[in-house]
Amino acid sequence: MSAAARAMAADSSAPDRAAAPVVPAVSVRDVAMVFSGQAAVADASFDLASGRFLTILGPSGSGKTTLLRMIAGFQRPTRGEIAINGRPVSAVPPHKRRVGMVFQKLALFPHMTAAENVAFPLKMRRFDAREIPARVARYLDLVHLGPYADRRIHELSGGQQQRVAIARALVFEPDLLLLDEPLAALDRKLREEMQLEFRRIQKELCITTINVTHDQREALVVSDEVIVMDRGRIQQMADPISAYREPANAFVASFIGVTNRIEGRLSDAQGDAVTLDTPFGPCAGRWGAPAGRSPRVGEAATGMLRAEQIRVAPSGEDRGGLDASVSAEIVDVIFEGERVVYEARLAGRPEATLRVFDHDPLGHAVQPVGATVRLGWNRRDLIVFPND
Amino acid sequence: MREARAKRLVIGALVALSLLILSAPTLVVLGASFTAGNIIAFPPDGLSLKWYEKVAGASDLRQAFWRSLQVALICTIVAVPVGTLAGLALAKHRVRFSNALQVYLLLPFTIPLIGSGIGLMLLFGEAGVLGSLWPVGLAACVINLPFMIWAVTASAGALDPDLELAAASCGAPPLQTFLLVTVPAVAPGIITGSLLMFILALNEFLVSLLLVDARTVTLPVQIYNSIRSIITPDLAAISVVFIACAALAILALDRLVGLDIFLKSK
CA distance B49 to A212: 71
- Does residue A219 lie within any of the structural domains? yes
pLDDT at A363: 60
Q: What do you get for the CA distance between the two ends of chain A, in Å?
A: 52
The answer on A121 and A85 residing in a single domain is yes
Q: Beta strand A79-84 with A87-88: parallel, antiparallel or unpaired? A: antiparallel
Contact A209, A245 (CB under 8 A): no
- Is the pLDDT score of A111 beyond 90? no
Q: Do A94 and B169 touch (CB under 8 A)?
A: yes
Q: Which residues of B touch A171 (CB under 8 A)?
A: none
pLDDT at A319: 62
CB-based contact (8 Å) between A75 and chain B?
no
Give, as one character, the DSSP assignment of residue B159.
S
- B47 or A26: which leads in pLDDT: A26
pLDDT at B4: 85
- Does residue A334 lie within any of the structural domains? yes
Q: Do B166 and A103 touch (CB under 8 A)?
A: yes
The answer on A48 and A100 residing in a single domain is yes
Work out the pLDDT band at A12, boundaries 50, 70, 90: very low
The answer on A278 and A208 residing in a single domain is no
pLDDT digits over A333-370, tens only? 998 888 889 999 887 777 788 899 988 756 667 888 88
pLDDT at A5: 46
The answer on A360 and A241 residing in a single domain is no
- Does residue A191 lie within any of the structural domains? yes
Q: Do A105 and B165 touch (CB under 8 A)?
A: no
- Does residue A12 lie within any of the structural domains? no
Q: Which residues of A touch B184 (CB under 8 A)?
A: 109, 111
Percent of chain A with pLDDT over 70: 92
Candidates A35, A104, A111, partner chain B, best to mutate (most B CBs within 10 A)? A111
CA distance A376 to A277: 16
Work out the pLDDT band at A1, boundaries 50, 70, 90: very low
Tell me the average pLDDT of chain B. 84
Percent of chain A with pLDDT over 90: 32
- Is the pLDDT score of B187 beyond 70? yes
CB-based contact (8 Å) between B160 and chain A?
yes
Phi, psi of B86 (to 5 degrees): -65, -45
- Is the pLDDT score of A56 beyond 90? yes
**Range of lowest pLDDT (A40-44, A313-317, A332-336, B250-254):** A313-317
pLDDT digits over A112-121, tens only? 889 999 999 9
How many domains is chain A partitioned into structurally? Answer: 2
- Does residue A6 lie within any of the structural domains? no
The residues with which A227 forms a beta bridge, in sequence order, are: A56, A237
Q: Do B169 and A101 touch (CB under 8 A)?
A: yes
CB-based contact (8 Å) between B243 and chain A?
no
Q: Which domains does chain B have, with CATH numbers?
A: 57-263 (1.10.3720.10)
CB-based contact (8 Å) between B165 and chain A?
yes
Which CATH number covers residue A136?
3.40.50.300
pLDDT at B94: 67
CB-based contact (8 Å) between B159 and chain A?
yes
> Which of A247, A276, A295 is the endpoint of a domain?
A247
Per-range mean pLDDT, top range of A224-228, A277-281, A354-358, B94-98: A224-228
Please tell me which of the candidates A99, A109, A111 has its beta carbon nearest to residue B169: A99
pLDDT at A374: 86
CB-based contact (8 Å) between A22 and chain B?
no
Sheet holding A26-35: strands in order across?
A38-48, A26-35, A79-84, A87-88
CA distance A23 to A12: 11
The answer on A325 and A263 residing in a single domain is yes
- Does residue A365 lie within any of the structural domains? yes
B70-94: average pLDDT: 89
CA distance B25 to B202: 19
pLDDT at A364: 66
pLDDT at B46: 79
CB-based contact (8 Å) between B260 and chain A?
no
pLDDT at A217: 87
Helix H or strand E encompassing B218: none
Work out the pLDDT band at A177, boundaries 50, 70, 90: very high
- Is the pLDDT score of B266 beyond 70? no
Shortest Cα–Cα distance, A36 to chain B (Å): 16
The answer on A311 and A241 residing in a single domain is no
Closest CA relative to residue A145, chosen from A176, A170, A175, A111: A170
Q: Do B171 and A172 touch (CB under 8 A)?
A: yes
- Does residue A215 lie within any of the structural domains? yes
Task: Please compute Rg for chain B using Cα positions.
Answer: 22
- Does residue A18 lie within any of the structural domains? no
A311-329: average pLDDT: 77
Provide the residue range defining the domain that includes A152. Answer: 24-247
Percent of chain B with pLDDT over 90: 17
Helix H or strand E encompassing B179: none
Candidates B159, B170, B266, partner chain A, best to mutate (most A CBs within 10 A)? B170
B113-125: average pLDDT: 87
CB-based contact (8 Å) between A95 and chain B?
yes
pLDDT digits over B211-252, tens only? 888 788 888 888 888 888 777 888 888 888 888 888 888 888
A148's CB contacts (< 8 A; 6+ apart) are A114, A140, A156, A160
**Range of lowest pLDDT (A40-54, A147-161, A312-326):** A312-326
A45-52: average pLDDT: 91
pLDDT digits over A181-237, tens only? 888 877 888 888 888 888 888 888 899 999 999 888 888 988 999 999 999 899 999
- Is the pLDDT score of A313 beyond 70? yes
Longest dimension (CA), chain B: 72
pLDDT digits over B64-77, tens only? 888 999 999 999 99
CB-based contact (8 Å) between A139 and chain B?
no
The residue of chain B with its CA nearest to that of A101 is B169
A130's CB contacts (< 8 A; 6+ apart) are none
Q: Do B165 and A121 touch (CB under 8 A)?
A: no
Q: Which residues of B touch A93 (CB under 8 A)?
A: 168
Which CATH number covers residue A319?
2.40.50.140
| 3-state helix/strand/coil string of chain A | CCHHHHHHHHHHHCCCCCCCCCCCCEEEEEEEEEECCEEEEEEEEEEECCCCEEEEECCCCCCHHHHHHHHHCCCCCCEEEEEECCEECCCCCHHHCCEEEEECCECCCCCCEHHHHHHHHHHHCCCCCCCHHHHHHHHHHHCCCHHHCCCEHHHCCHHHHHHHHHHHHHCCCCCEEEEECCCCCCCHHHHHHHHHHHHHHHHHHCCEEEEEECCHHHHHHHCCEEEEEECCEEEEEECHHHHHHCCCCHHHHHHCCCEEEEEEEEEEEECCEEEEEECCEEEEEEECCCCCCCCCCCCEEEEEEEHHHCEEEECCCCCCCCCEEEEEEEEEEEECCCCEEEEEEECCEEEEEEEEEECCCCCCCCCCCCCEEEEEECHHHEEEEECC
Q: Which residues of A touch B156 (CB under 8 A)?
A: none
The model carries a pTM of 0.79
CB-based contact (8 Å) between A182 and chain B?
no
Contact A151, A188 (CB under 8 A): no
pLDDT at B58: 81
pLDDT at A143: 85
CA distance A125 to B168: 11
CA distance B115 to B118: 5
The answer on A263 and A239 residing in a single domain is no
CB-based contact (8 Å) between A170 and chain B?
no
The answer on A236 and A96 residing in a single domain is yes
The answer on A108 and A31 residing in a single domain is yes
The answer on A314 and A170 residing in a single domain is no
**Between chain A and chain B, how many beta carbons pairs sit less than 8 Å apart?**
70
> Which of A247, A270, A304 is the endpoint of a domain?
A247
pLDDT at B227: 81
The answer on A233 and A214 residing in a single domain is yes
A73-88: average pLDDT: 90
pLDDT digits over B165-186, tens only? 999 999 899 999 999 999 988 8
pLDDT at A14: 43
The residue of chain A with its CA nearest to that of B163 is A107
Work out the pLDDT band at A296, boundaries 50, 70, 90: confident
Q: Do A106 and B167 touch (CB under 8 A)?
A: no
Tell me the average pLDDT of chain A. 86
The answer on A271 and A171 residing in a single domain is no
pLDDT at A6: 46
Shortest Cα–Cα distance, A110 to chain B (Å): 6
CB-based contact (8 Å) between B163 and chain A?
yes
> Which of A223, A247, A271 is the endpoint of a domain?
A247
Closest CA relative to residue B150, chosen from B178, B109, B203, B181: B109
